[in-house]
């Protein structure tokens, strides 16, 4: 075999070997890419599952809060109206009989109003501002503390899941203020800062040292819930000067 033929065979086998290596490289890259796709798909499914679980928990908690509210209304409001109705009916005076009819009509209105809250249809029919006004009105009506709402209606356009999470977070923040802060005022302010909407809940209550680790996971859970809708939860507090919570949510693209 001549030297020229040997060189040709060497080049040929070298080319075949190189092509083989390239094929292995391509196959390995394809397999790696598919593995990454599978992992990404699994990660997306996990995120989706956690998101749906969070929303389900929020809906369940709102149902529980609604049922608790209905229980209070039945006991404190409707129960009282029925007791007054019974007392009026036991009287033979015409004016008391008329008063009993008025009480019955009031009971019917209250029951109809309560029946509407047994499902979550009210979430879609009620704006966030209206919901906050209702919550603050209930707090102030008890004589617990003064309340106020200032809003530029930045949260007027919300997806159902965004509104659900915000409603539950607001409820929890107000409950915390009532249970732990003992404030004389609770003020809520809604405004826009660039492309971000901000809902601020401030009280002038006891406050607490945020550097001290809490035994509970309430604040952490509220933060994670805001994350599920692309938002942020920020809290600041000073002992003796109150607490401020900021809920930030970017405008939907």
Length of the chain: 253
pLDDT tens sequence across 176-193: 999 889 999 999 999 999
DSSP SS3 for 199 = strand
Q: Is the pLDDT of residue 80 over 80?
A: no
Q: Is the pLDDT of residue 204 over 60?
A: yes
Q: Is the pLDDT of residue 53 over 80?
A: no
Q: Is the pLDDT of residue 103 over 60?
A: yes
Q: Is the pLDDT of residue 39 over 60?
A: yes
How far, CA to CA in Å, does 164 sit from each of 58, 79, 117, 120, 223?
7, 30, 14, 9, 15
Mean residue pLDDT of the chain comes to: 83
Q: Among 3-12, 155-164, 165-174, whose mean pLDDT is lowest?
A: 3-12
DSSP SS3 for 12 = helix
pLDDT above 70 coverage of the chain, percent = 88
Q: Is the pLDDT of residue 220 over 70?
A: yes
Q: Is the pLDDT of residue 37 over 60?
A: yes
Q: State the Cα angle at 49 between 45 and 54, rounded to 5°.
A: 150
Query: What residue spans define the domains of the chain?
Result: 11-119, 126-253
pLDDT of res. 185: 96
pLDDT of res. 66: 72
Q: Is the pLDDT of residue 248 over 70?
A: yes
The overall longest dimension of the chain from CA atoms, in Å, is: 133
Q: How far is the C-alpha of 101 from the C-alpha of 31, rounded, in Å?
A: 79
Beta bridge mates, 147: 186
pLDDT of res. 2: 65
User: Band of the pLDDT at 160, cuts 50, 70, 90?
Assistant: confident
Class of 126-253 in CATH: alpha beta
Q: Which residues contact 226 (CB under 8 A, 6 or more apart)?
A: 165, 169, 232, 233, 247, 248, 249
**Could you tell me if 124 and 130 are in contact, meaning their C-beta atoms sit under 8 angstroms apart?**
no
Cα-to-chain-centroid distance, residue 204: 24
- Torsion from C-alpha of 89, 95, 98, 103, nearest 10 degrees: -70
pLDDT of res. 149: 97
């Amino acid at each position: 075999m001549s030297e020229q033929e040997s060189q040709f065979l060497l080049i040929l086998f070298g080319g075949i070997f190189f092509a083989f290596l390239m094929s292995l490289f391509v196959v390995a890259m394809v397999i790696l890419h598919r593995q990454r796709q599978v992992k990404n798909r699994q990660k997306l499914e996990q995120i989706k599952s956690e998101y749906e679980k969070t929303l389900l928990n929020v809906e369940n908690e709102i149902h529980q809060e609604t049922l608790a509210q209905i229980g209070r209304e039945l006991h404190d409001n409707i129960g009282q109206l029925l007791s007054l109705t019974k007392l009026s009916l036991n009287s033979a005076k015409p004016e008391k009989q008329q008063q009993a009819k008025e009480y019955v009509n009031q009971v019917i209105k209250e029951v109809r109003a309560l029946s509407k809250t047994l499902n979550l249809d009210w979430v879609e029919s009620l704006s966030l501002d209206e919901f906050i006004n209702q919550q603050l009105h209930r707090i102030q009506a008890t004589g617990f503390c003064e309340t106020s709402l200032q809003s530029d209606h930045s949260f007027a356009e919300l997806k159902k899941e965004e509104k659900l999470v915000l409603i539950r977070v607001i409820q929890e923040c107000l409950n915390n203020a009532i249970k732990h802060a003992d404030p004389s005022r609770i003020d809520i302010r809604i405004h826009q800062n660039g492309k971000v909407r901000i809902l601020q809940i401030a009280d002038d209550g006891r406050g607490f040292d945020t550097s001290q680790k809490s035994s509970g996971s309430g604040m952490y859970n509220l933060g994670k819930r805001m994350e599920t809708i692309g938002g942020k939860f920020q809290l600041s507090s000073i002992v003796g000067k109150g607490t401020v919570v900021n809920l930030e949510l970017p405008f939907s693209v």
